[in-house]
């Protein structure tokens, strides 16, 4: 904040900063939103801020490795008592059954497609080949969920501390009667806390199509 009202700093390290600046101007916010093209560790501001809003989450929540950048900005630029949005994170896993996917992507290679014995591909699928896309990202229907969800981790981004040696260890046992489990499905929720009621952004399969998938 400052004289004349609230001010927003938009931090973007990529060439998209120029596009964001044009979008800001097109919508009449050039005097309110200041786009800065720089990295998180090179950012310079005249004062600390009241709030940090960041879409740092990647597929499986952590794959884009941007959480460390957010926590750096929090510790360097957030005022005492300031707000981080989203504030809370929850990472889940649950057994998943998809006979159709398994048939089309694994069992397929044992059917001698077009009369060619392709069975060695089955071993490749479960080997260490760099070309095999594991984990598999997609929009998986909730009908395949089996057993019960298991909470792997839960963090408060206003206080959590991570170091190079930080590890998440989560033991689980999930009974799945009468269903074949073909894999484990992971998703995450993030929560925006607010006095009038929290808002949850979920990537659970039942949440429908969204950017992160599962």
Active site residues: 55, 64
Tell me the C-alpha distance between 37 and 29, whole Å: 17
Residues 6+ apart with CB under 8 A from 153: 89, 90, 91, 168, 170
Which candidate, 156, 36, 1, places its Cα nearest to that of 88? 156
The DSSP code sequence of 146-167 is: -S--EEEEEEETTT----TT--
Question: Is the preceding peptide bond at 135 cis, omega within 30 degrees of 0?
Answer: yes
Tell me the C-alpha distance between 156 and 102, whole Å: 37
Owner of token pair 């009369």: 115
How many Cβ atoms are within 10 Å of 39's Cβ, its own excluded? 10
In the chain, which ranges are continuous DSSP H helix? 16-26, 67-77, 99-105, 120-125
Tell me the C-alpha distance between 64 and 138, whole Å: 16
């Amino acid at each position: 904040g400052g004289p004349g009202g609230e001010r927003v700093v938009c931090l973007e390290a990529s060439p998209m900063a120029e596009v964001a600046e044009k979008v800001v101007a097109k919508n009449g916010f050039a005097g309110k939103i200041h786009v800065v093209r720089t990295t998180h560790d090179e950012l310079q501001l005249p004062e600390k801020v009241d709030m940090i809003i960041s879409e740092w989450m990647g597929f499986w929540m952590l794959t884009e490795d941007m959480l460390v950048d957010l926590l750096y900005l929090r510790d360097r630029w957030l005022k005492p008592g300031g707000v981080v949005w989203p504030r809370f994170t929850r990472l889940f896993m649950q057994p998943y059954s998809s006979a159709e996917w398994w048939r089309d992507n694994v069992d397929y290679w044992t059917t001698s497609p077009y009369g060619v014995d392709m069975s060695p591909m089955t071993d490749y699928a479960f080997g260490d080949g760099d070309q095999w896309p594991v984990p598999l990202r997609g929009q998986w229907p909730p009908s395949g969920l089996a057993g019960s969800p298991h909470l792997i981790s839960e963090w408060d981004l206003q206080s959590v501390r991570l170091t190079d040696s930080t590890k998440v260890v989560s033991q689980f046992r999930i009974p799945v009667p009468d269903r074949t489990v073909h894999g484990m499905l992971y998703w995450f929720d993030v929560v925006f806390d607010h006095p009038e009621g929290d808002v949850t952004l979920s990537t659970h399969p039942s949440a429908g199509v969204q950017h992160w998938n599962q």
